[in-house]
Structure 1
Amino acid sequence: MKLRDRYHQLQDPAVVKAMVLRSVYASMALENQTVSMERLEALYAQTDSQPTASPAGEAAR
């Protein structure tokens, strides 16, 4: 069973974005490297425009 099947809220991109942003913000704060949420949102927005990584078999070439 996949996580998306078990936890239906993971199918909502807004929920996933909120979870990622909170996790990154909290992790960086623990390391005394605070970053504004606006900056994190901008970085997250950049990930939407990036092409996805190649499958593992192609990356090993």
Structure 2
Amino acid sequence: MIFTNGAFVSPGKVIVNGREAWCWIVESFEGDSFYDGEEILPIENSYNKENLLKLIEDAEE
């Protein structure tokens, strides 16, 4: 789980355990975001879980 000061979200329908459910889907992030106390650059979508966030120091290289 991440914490963010701001994100643009929209409602979206997903299938959970074979049933339709509504959830908030992040369209884009605004402001600072953190994961385990480290500032990160969250990516809105990716083909794998590992690429959804980057530590700020890794992004600056």
TM bin (shorter chain): under 0.3
Q: How does the TM-score come out when normalised to structure 2?
A: 0.23
Higher relative contact order (CA 8 A, sep 6+): 2
Q: Relative to total residues, which structure has the larger strand share, 1 or 2?
A: 2
Q: How does the TM-score come out when normalised to structure 1?
A: 0.23
Q: Which is higher, the Rg of structure 1 or of structure 2?
A: 1
Q: Relative to total residues, which structure has the larger helix share, 1 or 2?
A: 1
